[in-house]
Structure 1
Amino acid sequence: MAAAINLSGKNYLITGAASGIGLATARLFKRHGATLVLWDFNAEALEQTTQELQCHFKVVDVAQSDAVEAGFAEAISQVGKLDGVIHSAGILRTGSFESLDITTHRRTIEIDLFGAVAVAYAALPHLKQARGSLIFLGSGSAFWGTAEFNSYGAAKAGVLNLAQALRTELAGTGVHIGVVNPLFVGSPMLDETNRQAKYIRRFGIVHIPEQVAEAILKGLDKRRFMIWPSPVLKTRGMYWATHHLHFAAPLLMRLLWR
């Protein structure tokens, strides 16, 4: 059980830590005894979070690789080593592909995909030393191209592919790679504009951030690759259907989008 997991003496860096899943994960890890380094792009919200949790913090845009590298160097100077990195930073803007401007598409890919690449690239030398964990925040939209989640889903599919590649490349190094795969999470990212997407209006909110944080903690403890937040049947069911019923997935997704 998560209640028995002890993170005392361990150090974790969490990106996107000022709200949503990142904030819920930071609070949960703190309760379990972890020492934290928190990153976010929102300076005001991050300062409030760090006042609450009394931990190290840095304002970082994860799409800026130089800032990410500098952030890891600072984190190591503060805590000595990193036992894990939870990469939760991301943005979402739903809408039909043509309704979103090219700047929005570009920024989504930069933050959600290149941000994951930049964080992984900077984190791995430190995680190899500690035989630590790197957990990415994936998405159910990575399993199959999801209407109105076009660039976001493409970025998250890239994150899943990146994690799969790293899992193979790093076998035998002691580094644990994981991907947590939620569906629709009731967090500030899912604002009123994003909630207008047809899939969200049909299915509603599936998870709260605390459920995803609990799944991350358990996945970290068990060193799992695919991490499923509660309710598990919905998330794993979507993955199973799109992978094992591949021939039917396009029709299924069109029917659900009506």
Structure 2
Amino acid sequence: MITGANRGIGRELAERVLAQGDDVIALGRDRAAMAELGCRVVTADLSAPETLAGAVAGIDRLDALVHNAGIAEVGPVAETGLDTWQRHLTVNLAAPAELTRLLLPALRAASGHVVFVNSGVGLSAGPMWSAYGASKHGLKALADALRAEEQGNGVRVTTVYPGQVATEMQRALRESMGVPYDPRRAMSAGTAAEAIRYVLNVPAEATVHDLRIAPSDPVPHATSRRR
């Protein structure tokens, strides 16, 4: 299962996993876009985690769960309202936690693998990244706790920390921060997806706990909003 498989890293990953002969369950809101992949589609809204139980009912065996979907908005703490905080913590943290809880029996049955697609901001958040960074720091804590808890059940847990990726989300973030967008200085969504596919294909005798990948020549983030 791959969340956010309708575009960007999620779609690239889904295409690669399908190409290697595996089945994919694409989970997200954009059913039409996910249907283009030619795989099983589960329509669900991560902004409403309380609805996820009905969406994934009946899945009793799952080899891998990739938490790729997420949202990102930037701004100084002084201008970040409660709704922005709640939205980030719900979509980027509470929803992955709930989806993992619901699917743990299926993952245990398959000695499966949970992969959290985090961010470099999930390790160190600078100016403008408070809400997003907090949600991603929380996602790291979730992954670390889950790994320790599920090791005895045969479930592997990995966090992947991609740096700047050439997606429409990255373009929008750059514009809001006043930093020129240059996709040539970001890694492609395909490169990020290939790193995740590598993690998924590591033999079961080993677990990659954390993998950080970044573009070779990234554009520095702005330290403040352009006026």
TM-score for the superposition, normalised by structure 2: 0.86
Q: Structure 1 170/193 Cα, relative in aligned 2: closer, same or farther at 3 Å?
A: closer
Q: Distance in 2 between matches of 1:257 and 1:202?
A: 15
Tell me which residue corresponds to 1:15. 3
Q: Does 1:62 align with 2:46?
A: yes
Query: What's the offset of the Cα at 1:186?
Result: 1.4
One of 71, 83, 92 as aligned partner of 2:55: 71
Q: Does 1:84 align with 2:68?
A: no
Q: Distance in 1 between matches of 2:123 and 2:182?
A: 17
Secondary structure of the residue aligned to 1:48 is: helix
Q: Structure 1 148/18 Cα, relative in aligned 2: closer, same or farther at 3 Å?
A: same
One of 1, 18, 27 as aligned partner of 1:30: 18
Q: Which runs of 5+ in 2 are unaligned?
A: none
Matches within 5 A, 1:1-258: 13-41=1-29, 43=30, 46-50=31-35, 52-74=36-58, 76=59, 81-197=61-177, 201=180, 205-222=185-202, 223-229=207-213, 231=215, 257=223
Task: Report the AA paired with residue 20 of structure 1.
Answer: G
Query: What's the offset of the Cα at 1:256?
Result: 7.4
What percentage of residue pairs aligned between the two structures are identical? Answer: 26
1:94 touches 1:194 (CA, 8 Å); kept in 2?
no
1:180 touches 1:227 (CA, 8 Å); kept in 2?
yes
Q: Structure 1 210/121 Cα, relative in aligned 2: closer, same or farther at 3 Å?
A: same
Q: Distance in 2 between matches of 1:227 and 1:133?
A: 15
- Give 4+ residue runs of structure 1 displaced > 4 Å after superposition: 200-205
Q: Distance in 2 between matches of 1:211 and 1:144?
A: 22
Q: Distance in 1 between matches of 2:130 and 2:50?
A: 28
Q: Distance in 2 between matches of 1:168 and 1:122?
A: 18
Secondary structure of the residue aligned to 2:56 is: helix
Q: CA RMSD in A?
A: 2.5
Q: Structure 1 174/226 Cα, relative in aligned 2: closer, same or farther at 3 Å?
A: same
Q: Distance in 1 between matches of 2:4 and 2:181?
A: 27
Aligned residues: 218
Q: Distance in 2 between matches of 1:193 and 1:218?
A: 28
Task: Report the AA paired with residue 142 of structure 1.
Answer: G
1:93 touches 1:194 (CA, 8 Å); kept in 2?
no
1:215 touches 1:230 (CA, 8 Å); kept in 2?
no
Q: Distance in 2 between matches of 1:130 and 1:234?
A: 40
Q: Structure 1 92/113 Cα, relative in aligned 2: closer, same or farther at 3 Å?
A: same
Q: Distance in 1 between matches of 2:83 and 2:211?
A: 32
Query: What's the offset of the Cα at 1:234?
Result: 8.1
Q: Distance in 2 between matches of 1:35 and 1:20?
A: 19
Task: Report the AA paired with residue 257 of structure 1.
Answer: T
Q: Distance in 2 between matches of 1:127 and 1:192?
A: 35
